[in-house]
A and B are shown apart, each in its own frame.
Chain A
Amino acid sequence: MSIPELEELANVCRKHIVKMIHKAGAGHPGGSLSAIDIIAGLYGTRLRFNVDDPDWDDRDRFVMSKGHASPAVYSILREMGFLNDEDLATFRALGSVCQGHVDMKWTNGVDFSAGSLGMGLSFGLGCALAARMDSSKRETWVMVGDGEVQEGQIWEALMAADFHEVSGLKLIVDRNRIQNDDFVSVQMEVGDVASKIGAFGWNIKEINGHDMEEIVEALEWASMSSGPSAIIAHTVKGKGVSFMEDNPSFHGKAPNDEELALALEELS
């Protein structure tokens, strides 16, 4: 896909995101909107999957560790053909394939059951180690939030990935600077994440997580790198909807009718 096509894909996904959260009356718009450009770039340019065979053994994995940003994942799975509009409309409802947090047991195309932060990188490491044992080139892409790196398990996994020299493991940090209660700087500043992860032996690249050219280039860089590689994507929480941008109150709050209309107008 071309850069304009990827940008358009991300925009379509943004509309799905605000609509499904509005319909559900609950969900996490901020972190979904910050992550969606990168996710669109990943699905549009790198990830190998098969809609007709979601469990294809040799598919690339996308491990969404910040599982509360599930609307971002469901929106891209809708655009890739794994889900339909009816599925999105049931987000968070009883029996829906679109569970509150992404869950591999419920949704075709989802590779990890998230919801509890800090676990996805370890899971991705397991996927990458298995791929290497199978002599497969399949890649595992893990996305974590910046608040999430406060979890100690992330650093256990970072250390282990370096020790095991796992090339098939790629990490994306959605550095949107806001977590549940407030700004990361207020809750527990994680500081220079790039240097810290770099000090654990990872290849590092910092990008603007909303610049599609930078995103595509960084994804290719990570894919080609040997050894574990991390992209620190500087993003804006709630990106694309003015009143949600950089606003901690839209970490986990649904837009009301009026806000939805405004959001869709801005995204049109």
Chain B
Amino acid sequence: MSAPSMGGASRDGYGSALLRLSGDPRVVVLEADLGKSTKSCLFRAEYPERTVSLGIAEQNMMLVAAGMASSGKVPFASTFAIFTERAFEQVRNGISRPGLAVHICGSHGGIHTGTDGSSAQSIEDLAIYRTIPGLTVITPCDDLSAEELTVQLLDHGNASYTRTARNKTPRMYDTDTVKNLEIGKGSVLREGSDVAIVACGVMVSEAMEAAKLLEGSGISARVIDMHTIKPLDTDLLDKIRVECGGIVTAEDHSIIGGLGSAVAEYLSTTGGCPIQMVGVKDRFGESGESSDLMQHMGLTRNEIVERARHIANSV
């Protein structure tokens, strides 16, 4: 495989998707003063009559979106991931409980966000949204997959939360391969049998680099882009469990409650397999350049390699 091209950030993909969805008159976009950051501004510029500015008031935004969904609209509401959390109960009680198909996008998710510091670095969003019945939870790894998965939400039928990233990441897909993506189905980016690296979001590209490093030391690693945390692709996990020696999960998120937890929870109901988690170890982030911070917090290809070796050497 040739070196991945550098695309935009996944939030750019969200913005592009809104434009692609604009042909459907049901689509409305809601903003809470951060449209320039989440990239919903692209839709606003073209369709101001279908864009609703709610100001810095996330709780109101969530219920306005719910009201619009109950009236036949397909609302896409975005702000920073961390500020969606302020309206967690609104998402639970006002959106998911009545089964209203509101699509929430939380941009600037994770430590990857960088210099803004810990207040802006949501490391628990995937965990909390995963606990809400019927809410689909997605975290794409690049701009093209963010665009594709967001487009698929149009007729998804139930509420969703999509986490996007502030900074650019290498593209894992091209305009053809991205069409194979499907919400709820993990994507195998690389075959291998000694260990499987199940990653999401910005850690997918690190997982791919880790697999190359592992190959150099004779360890064959399968790489999965588990872009949908919920519903989790348990069929794929069943396959991995049988075909690979163990699983390393990798996420820019707390190891409590996120992708790693979701995988471990499922595996505990099966015969199980060795599992190691790469993620944020129950601490807050801090300011710093994104790449420096990811190193500092152990969200790296080297960390994945180390965990994978641990599994490969113990089976």
Complex CA distance for A51 and B180, rounded to whole angstroms: 45
Q: What band does the interface of chain A fall in when counting residues whose beta carbon is under 8 Å from B?
A: 20 to 34
Interface residues of A (CB under 8 A from B): 57, 63, 103-105, 111-113, 115-116, 118-120, 122-131, 133-134, 140, 152-153, 156-157, 159-160, 163-164
Q: Inside 8 A of A126's CB, which chain B residues have their CB?
A: 63-71, 75
* Best-buried of B28, B69, B93, B98 by chain A (most CB within 10 Å): B98
A interface majority secondary structure: helix
Is B8's CB within 8 Å of the partner chain A? no
B residues 43-99 in Cβ contact with A at 8 Å: 49-50, 52-55, 57, 59-73, 75, 89-90, 93-94, 97-99
Q: Using a Cβ–Cβ cut-off of 8 Å, how many residues does chain B contribute to the interface with A?
A: 31
The distance from the CB of A39 to the nearest CB of chain B, in whole angstroms, is 20
The distance from the CB of B209 to the nearest CB of chain A, in whole angstroms, is 44
Complex CA distance for A125 and B73, rounded to whole angstroms: 13
* Best-buried of A57, A115, A129, A157 by chain B (most CB within 10 Å): A129
The distance from the CB of B68 to the nearest CB of chain A, in whole angstroms, is 4
Q: Inside 8 A of B67's CB, which chain A residues have their CB?
A: 63, 122-130, 140
Beta-carbon contact of A115 and B60 below 8 Å:
no
Residue pairs across A and B with Cβ atoms less than 8 A apart, 23 shown, are: A57-B71, A104-B98, A113-B94, A119-B94, A120-B63, A122-B90, A123-B63, A123-B66, A125-B63, A125-B64, A125-B67, A126-B63, A126-B68, A126-B71, A133-B49, A133-B50, A140-B67, A152-B59, A156-B54, A156-B57, A156-B60, A159-B57, A163-B55
Known: A57-B72, A131-B71. A123 touches B64 (CB 8 A): yes
Beta-carbon contact of A103 and B66 below 8 Å:
no
Partner of A105, one of B59, B73, B99: B99
Beta-carbon contact of B66 and A156 below 8 Å:
no
The distance from the CB of B157 to the nearest CB of chain A, in whole angstroms, is 14
Q: Inside 8 A of B99's CB, which chain A residues have their CB?
A: 105
Known: A127-B70, A133-B73. A105 touches B98 (CB 8 A): yes
Partner of A129, one of B57, B68, B72, B94: B68
CB-CB nearest in chain A for B97: A113
Q: Inside 8 A of A103's CB, which chain B residues have their CB?
A: 97-98
Known: A115-B93, A133-B50, A160-B55. A122 touches B63 (CB 8 A): yes
Q: Inside 8 A of A156's CB, which chain B residues have their CB?
A: 54-55, 57, 59-60
Q: Inside 8 A of A112's CB, which chain B residues have their CB?
A: 70, 98
Known: A119-B90, A159-B55, A159-B57. A129 touches B64 (CB 8 A): yes
Interface residues of B (CB under 8 A from A): 28, 49-50, 52-55, 57, 59-73, 75, 89-90, 93-94, 97-99
The distance from the CB of A73 to the nearest CB of chain B, in whole angstroms, is 15
Complex CA distance for A128 and B53, rounded to whole angstroms: 15
Beta-carbon contact of A111 and B28 below 8 Å:
no
Complex CA distance for A152 and B99, rounded to whole angstroms: 24
Q: Inside 8 A of B61's CB, which chain A residues have their CB?
A: 122
The distance from the CB of A238 to the nearest CB of chain B, in whole angstroms, is 27
Complex CA distance for A156 and B231, rounded to whole angstroms: 33
Complex CA distance for A115 and B63, rounded to whole angstroms: 14
Beta-carbon contact of B54 and A104 below 8 Å:
no
The distance from the CB of B30 to the nearest CB of chain A, in whole angstroms, is 9
Q: Inside 8 A of B68's CB, which chain A residues have their CB?
A: 126-127, 129-130
Q: Inside 8 A of A127's CB, which chain B residues have their CB?
A: 67-68, 70-71
Q: Inside 8 A of A153's CB, which chain B residues have their CB?
A: 57, 59-60, 63, 90
Beta-carbon contact of B49 and A122 below 8 Å:
no
Complex CA distance for A116 and B295, rounded to whole angstroms: 42
Q: Inside 8 A of A57's CB, which chain B residues have their CB?
A: 71-72
The distance from the CB of B91 to the nearest CB of chain A, in whole angstroms, is 11
Q: Inside 8 A of B70's CB, which chain A residues have their CB?
A: 104, 111-112, 123, 126-127
Complex CA distance for A247 and B62, rounded to whole angstroms: 35
Extra pairs beyond A123-B64, A131-B71, A159-B55 (18, CB < 8 Å): A57-B72, A105-B98, A105-B99, A112-B70, A112-B98, A113-B97, A122-B66, A123-B67, A123-B94, A126-B69, A127-B68, A129-B64, A133-B49, A133-B73, A153-B57, A156-B57, A157-B63, A157-B64
CB-CB nearest in chain A for B64: A126
CB-CB nearest in chain A for B65: A126
Known: A113-B94, A129-B67. A122 touches B59 (CB 8 A): yes
CB-CB nearest in chain A for B99: A105
CB-CB nearest in chain A for B57: A156
Q: Inside 8 A of B65's CB, which chain A residues have their CB?
A: 126
Partner of A160, one of B57, B69, B94: B57
Complex CA distance for A113 and B49, rounded to whole angstroms: 28
Complex CA distance for A104 and B70, rounded to whole angstroms: 10
Complex CA distance for A123 and B68, rounded to whole angstroms: 8
Partner of A113, one of B54, B72, B89, B98: B98
The distance from the CB of B257 to the nearest CB of chain A, in whole angstroms, is 23
